[in-house]
């Protein structure tokens, strides 16, 4: 094994003209210091004998950070540790462990790692009450997490600036104010989680204003509009037209309607056992005649394709994020066709959630249902002691209420002839007239 009087100039000349054969050169002045040269690269090693056994310890690659002076200092440090009884392999293992730990911590700071971890933790039960999110909300969260990762890539979350987040949300807002609000919620929660989990010094998402502020909607369809929308849904056909008619029959959220499984339908299709929803509790929804007829008219797919309403042949649900596009492509053109058939024109644009508000208002105003029964049908969350003690399914009340709504819908869709005054009498007015004449 060749030995050399190492100098910086001599080492650089040796590396520059060395052939592509690996050779170990040893320092004459410092026993055990080895420079392994291979082509145009070189690495420092320390050769030390411990308990009669020779060990090779890598000190580092030759360069500005590890020149001749630094390599000799590193060798002296290693000798001192061995004299104190520390094994050289122990030092190497400790340094490797520190490096692996540092790399793991750096990886945890990547947005592509942290964001999915936040979503997983966010769904876990905490305390006595489960915070498990409903399926539509989880689906929205996953979609926005994927969009954030696609936008910022494998960035260290601590390097993402406030201006970048603001520009990202502005881009989402230009497409949809509602989607921008969801993205804002996800983004703020991820950064709040990161600040606690990673001890970030600042939170660039903390003071970002909500991008898509909009007024609460109060739109309710009148009886003529219900008839027009129902006909448009019939013309639009499966799956979106069927799903919207089903939502109008049951008053359920469109995301929960889109996730309906055939296995959720029990008792010959008379009941829908809803286990995943926004209120995070089981809800028994009665399917009256119109709702059951809609389900029966849906195509039946194979057993491994369980969804009732699906744009993918039963393999997946009707995703909530594509409904805006579906309304433009399928429902709105069908409304124009309904106008051509002579049906009344809508007084203004409507959204799919307006159907739920229409059911609630119709139950109270036309069917004279009490407030508590309507709340049970709509499956609004119950708070306070009542949520703790009242675990009843309220099936009888839900069944009676939805049957009355089914009958009212039939009256709306097939209006009675006008009376002598020239006005159409509603089912409610007919009941009152019969009560007065009795």
CATH number of 131's domain: 1.10.150.130
* Half-sphere exposure at residue 96, Cβ-oriented, CA atoms within 13 angstroms: 9
Q: Does 190 share its domain with 307?
A: no
Task: Note the pLDDT tens digit of each residue in 341-362.
Answer: 999 999 999 999 999 999 999 9
Q: Domain for residue 214, yes or no?
A: no
Average pLDDT, the chain: 84
Rounded distance, CA 27 to CA 32, Å? 7
Q: Does 93 share its domain with 120?
A: no
Note the pLDDT of residue 123: 62
Assess whether pLDDT exceeds 90 at residue 364: yes
- Joined together, the tokens standing for residue 171 give 């881009």
| Residue given tokens 């692996």 in the structure block | 100
Assess whether pLDDT exceeds 80 at residue 133: no
- Joined together, the tokens standing for residue 201 give 């010094």
> Cis peptide before 173, with omega less than 30 degrees from 0?
no
Cβ-contact 327, 281 below 8 angstroms? no
Among residues 56, 73, 106, the one where a domain terminates is 106
More confident residue, 249 or 53: 249
If you ran DSSP here, which 8-state letter would residue 223 be given?
A: H
Q: Does 308 share its domain with 397?
A: yes
Whole-prediction pTM:
0.59
Task: Express the helix, strand and coil content of the chain in percent, nearest 5 each.
Answer: 55, 10, 35
Residues 6+ apart with CB under 8 A from 31: none
**DSSP SS3 for 220:** coil
Q: Does 34 share its domain with 134?
A: no
Among residues 79, 106, 133, the one where a domain terminates is 106
Residue 158 CA to its chain's centroid (Å): 22
Domain of 276, in residue numbers: 230-437
Among residues 83, 106, 129, the one where a domain terminates is 106
Picking from 135, 144, 212, the residue whose alpha carbon sits closest to that of residue 183 is 144
Assess whether pLDDT exceeds 90 at residue 252: yes
Note the pLDDT of residue 168: 92
* Range ranked top by mean pLDDT from 40-54, 199-213, 333-347: 333-347
Q: Does 256 share its domain with 372?
A: yes
Cβ-contact 182, 221 below 8 angstroms? no
Confidence of residue 388 (pLDDT cuts 50, 70, 90): confident
Confidence of residue 226 (pLDDT cuts 50, 70, 90): very high
Note the pLDDT of residue 99: 67
Confidence of residue 242 (pLDDT cuts 50, 70, 90): very high
Q: Does 295 share its domain with 148?
A: no
Q: Does 28 share its domain with 164?
A: no
Confidence of residue 210 (pLDDT cuts 50, 70, 90): confident
More confident residue, 41 or 289: 289
In this structure, of 20-34, 45-59, 287-301, the range with the lowest mean pLDDT score is 45-59
Residues 6+ apart with CB under 8 A from 169: 180, 183, 184, 187, 208, 211
Rounded distance, CA 13 to CA 6, Å? 11
Cβ-contact 288, 229 below 8 angstroms? no
- Strands (DSSP E) along 144-225, which ranges? none
- State the total domains in the chain: 3
Q: Domain for residue 350, yes or no?
A: yes
Q: Does 302 share its domain with 428?
A: yes
Q: Does 80 share its domain with 171?
A: no
Q: Does 135 share its domain with 272?
A: no
* Range ranked top by mean pLDDT from 22-36, 178-192, 282-296: 282-296
| Residue given tokens 């039939």 in the structure block | 410
Assess whether pLDDT exceeds 70 at residue 10: yes
Rounded distance, CA 251 to CA 257, Å? 10
Q: Does 122 share its domain with 271?
A: no
Task: Give the pLDDT mean for 80-100.
Answer: 71
Q: Does 256 share its domain with 401?
A: yes
Task: Note the pLDDT tens digit of each residue in 144-201.
Answer: 889 998 998 888 888 889 999 999 999 988 888 888 888 898 989 888 888 888 877 7
- The CATH code of the domain that includes 384 is 1.10.443.10
């Amino acid at each position: 094994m060749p030995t050399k009087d190492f100098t910086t100039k001599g080492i650089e000349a040796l590396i520059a003209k060395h052939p592509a054969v690996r050779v170990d050169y040893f320092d004459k002045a410092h026993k055990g210091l080895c420079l392994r040269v291979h082509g145009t690269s070189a690495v420092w090693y320390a050769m030390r004998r411990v308990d009669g056994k020779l060990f090779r310890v890598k000190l580092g690659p030759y360069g500005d950070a590890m020149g001749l002076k630094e390599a000799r200092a590193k060798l002296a440090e290693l000798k001192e540790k061995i004299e104190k009884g520390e094994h050289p392999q122990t030092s190497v293992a400790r340094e490797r462990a520190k490096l692996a730990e540092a790399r793991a911590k750096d990886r945890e700071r990547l947005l592509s790692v942290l964001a999915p971890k936040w979503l997983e933790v966010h769904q876990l039960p905490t305390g006595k009450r489960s915070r498990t999110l409903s399926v539509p909300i989880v689906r929205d969260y996953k979609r926005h997490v994927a969009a954030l990762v696609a936008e910022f890539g494998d960035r260290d979350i601590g390097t993402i600036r406030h201006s970048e987040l603001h520009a990202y949300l502005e881009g989402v807002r230009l497409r949809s104010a509602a989607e921008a609000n969801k993205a804002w919620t996800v983004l703020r929660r991820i950064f709040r989680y990161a600040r606690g989990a990673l001890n970030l010094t600042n939170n660039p998402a903390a003071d970002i204003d909500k991008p898509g502020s909009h007024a609460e909607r109060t739109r309710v369809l009148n009886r003529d509009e219900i008839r027009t929308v129902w006909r448009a849904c019939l013309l639009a056909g499966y799956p979106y037209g069927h799903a919207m008619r089903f939502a109008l029959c049951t008053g359920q959220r469109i995301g929960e309607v889109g996730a309906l499984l055939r296995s959720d339908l029990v008792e010959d299709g008379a009941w829908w056992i809803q286990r995943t929803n926004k209120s995070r509790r089981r809800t028994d929804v009665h399917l009256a005649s119109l709702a059951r007829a809609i389900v029966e008219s849906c195509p039946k797919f194979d057993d491994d394709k369980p969804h009732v309403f699906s744009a993918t042949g039963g393999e997946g649900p009707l995703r909530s994020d594509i409904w805006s596009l579906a309304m433009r492509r399928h429902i709105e053109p069908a409304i124009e066709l309904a106008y051509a058939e002579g049906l009344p024109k809508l007084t203004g644009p409507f959204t799919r959630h307006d159907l739920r508000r229409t059911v609630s208002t119709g139950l109270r105003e036309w069917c004279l249902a009490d407030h508590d029964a309507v709340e049970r049908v709509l499956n609004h969350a119950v708070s306070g002691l009542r949520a703790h003690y009242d675990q009843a399914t309220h099936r009888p009340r839900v069944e009676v209420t939805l049957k009355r709504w089914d009958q009212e819908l039939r009256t709306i869709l097939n209006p009675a002839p006008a009376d002598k005054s020239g006005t159409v009498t509603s089912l409610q007015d007919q009941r009152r007239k019969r009560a007065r004449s009795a």
